[in-house]
Structure 1
Amino acid sequence: MRLVTNTFRETGVRIRNRRDEDLDVCVGLLRAVHEQAGYPINWPEDPRGWLTPASRLGCWVAESDGRVAGHVVLTAVGDRAEVERLFVDPAVTRKGIGRRLLDHCVTTAAELGRELSLEVVDNRGAAVHLYRRAGWTETTRTPIDWGGEQATELIRFSPPVST
């Protein structure tokens, strides 16, 4: 797991490794996101376990004003990496926290020499907008049957090409 902390002074957001003692706060934030924005579509039976997939390359939180305000996991998919479990406290959205977490994953995947991607269901308008604003490119759409009437496709994105 990557043991680095990035501090972003211009926004007061600090990305750090998630610690075990952060899990209860992260589950609470995930519950708020689920209730307000419908992510994840299906509430996990074991939210703590869902936030800690076995294939993880790293788990990070964003701190803002000294409290956990966002979460992300980078997982291994073969020799590639995938951004997962990205969410931000609904009380502090639109402050660049999701973008900082996303950028952290891009940097980490590059350092690990892994091709990166992410998937999002088609009813996550704010997430899709974030990815596109951050320069990510939609590569495929796959029909799904587990999203109910809320979502019918899974959209795959690839990150911006670094120069």
Structure 2
Amino acid sequence: MRRRIELVDEVGTAFSYTRVVSNVQIRRRCDVDLPPLIDILARQQAQTQYPFQWPPDRGPEHFLRRPTEIEAWVADLAGNVVGHVAIQSVASDELGHMWAAALGVPIIELRCISVLFADRRLARRGIGSALLARATERALAGGGAPVLDVVAGHLDAVSLYLNRGWQEVGRFRPEWLPSSQEPVRAMILPKPEPAGPPSCGSTPPAGP
């Protein structure tokens, strides 16, 4: 079913387009995507508190494109950039060791899903979920172990991760987090349990 989606910009001007929402394109991020992504963050940061500090210490472009980045994608809807996610390598620090111990893997195998956000004017349309799914799939495809961290007060994000099977394994307090805030949650995507041998007396598969 085709749905008409209307967006309203900061001065109240409406613009709209018709699109099958499930057909949001998740594609690799390009340099030309950075300005519209920064616009999204700047427009909604006062409401979302993401990033927690605005503008970020090293600037919004550095927040999006980090030295530890492995891959990054955007959500593209009818030519409009409406979301972002990236995968980062993980440092050998307190947080990295916490994740590695919880998963039982070396830090080098960890893949941190980060900088995940979507345009709130299109909230609850599955854009964030689609971005998370792509990043998780790519992290696993390379034999990596997906991990992430999230500010405890970002309840929508916490709910999204918990509903997708992520588990909290600890909390930590980065330098930029005010003492009035709860510690940041460290989360992992548990490894699937290996399939066990067939139980005694189970029926063997039928032959050809």
Q: How far apart, in 1, do the equivalents of 2:173 and 2:67 lie?
A: 26
Of 9, 15, 25, the residue aligned with 2:36 is 25
Quote the offset at 1:42 in angstroms. Answer: 0.9
Q: How far apart, in 2, do the equivalents of 1:119 and 1:81 lie?
A: 12
Counting only pairs closer than 5 Å after superposition, residues 16-95 of structure 1 correspond to structure 2 as 16-43=27-54, 44=56, 45-77=58-90, 78-95=108-125
Of the two, which has the highest radius of gyration?
A: 2
Quote the offset at 1:143 in angstroms. Answer: 3.6
Q: What's the counterpart of residue 4 of structure 1?
A: none
What do you get for the CA RMSD once the two structures are aligned?
1.8
Deviates more, 1:152-161 or 1:14-23: 152-161
Quote the offset at 1:148 in angstroms. Answer: 2.2
Q: What's the counterpart of residue 110 of structure 1?
A: 140
Higher relative contact order (CA 8 A, sep 6+): 1
What residue ranges of structure 1 are gaps of 5+ in the alignment?
1-8
What amino acid maps onto 1:108 in structure 2?
Answer: R
SS at match of 1:11: helix
SS at match of 1:123: coil
Quote the offset at 1:158 in angstroms. Answer: 1.1
Q: TM-score, normalised by structure 2?
A: 0.69
Quote the offset at 1:151 in angstroms. Answer: 2.4
Q: Give the aligned length.
A: 155
Quote the offset at 1:64 in angstroms. Answer: 1.9
User: Which structure has the highest strand share of the two?
Assistant: 1
Conserved? CA contact 1:32–1:90, under 8 Å = no
What residue ranges of structure 2 are gaps of 5+ in the alignment?
1-19, 91-107, 194-208
Q: How far apart, in 2, do the equivalents of 1:26 and 1:160 lie?
A: 31
Identity of aligned residues (%): 31
Conserved? CA contact 1:33–1:87, under 8 Å = no
Deviates more, 1:115-124 or 1:140-149: 140-149
Quote the offset at 1:46 in angstroms. Answer: 1.2
